[in-house]
Amino acid sequence: MIVFWIIGILFFVVELLCCVPEYVRLLRYHGRVIGTITKIEDNGQNARAIFEYDVDGHHYTQKTQWTSNDVFIVGKTCDVIYNQKKPHLSYIKKSGQWIRCLVGTLFVIVGVIVLCLGFFFQSIL
């Protein structure tokens, strides 16, 4: 039973820590602008895009998170979503934010289910 509790808590806490910042981005970042992908960083297995955009006359350069998909093309325009209060905080619209949130949420649900199984087995044994 204790094993279920430990596994459940670990799933819940670790994924909650990874998932919450992604949800914050989705909820707080409402500014939209067109940017340009200027460079691709590649470590052999994963890649991330470096993109530039302008907000209210200020120029910003930002990086995406690492991805294993070759979805970025240098010189291509991209939809940039940014925090209107802090425009230097941004992400590319189709860079996997929703997928990371979904996967994180699924792991949190698995953690809660495993935790509940631990309580269930504790009560019947």
In this predicted model, which residue has the larger pLDDT, 54 or 99?
54
Give me 13's structure tokens: 């806490």
pTM: 0.69
Confidence band (pLDDT; 50, 70, 90) for 85?
very high
Confidence band (pLDDT; 50, 70, 90) for 32?
very high
User: What is the sign, positive or negative, of the torsion defined by CA atoms of 22, 27, 30, 32?
Assistant: positive
pLDDT tens per residue across span 6-16: 877 787 777 77
- Residue 110 dihedral angles phi and psi, to the nearest 5°: -60, -40
Helix (H) or strand (E) holding 78: strand 77-82
Report pLDDT for 124.
79
Q: Which residues of 71-103 are buried (b: 16+ CB within 10 A; e: fewer)?
A: bbeeeeebebbbbeeebebbbbeebbbeebbee
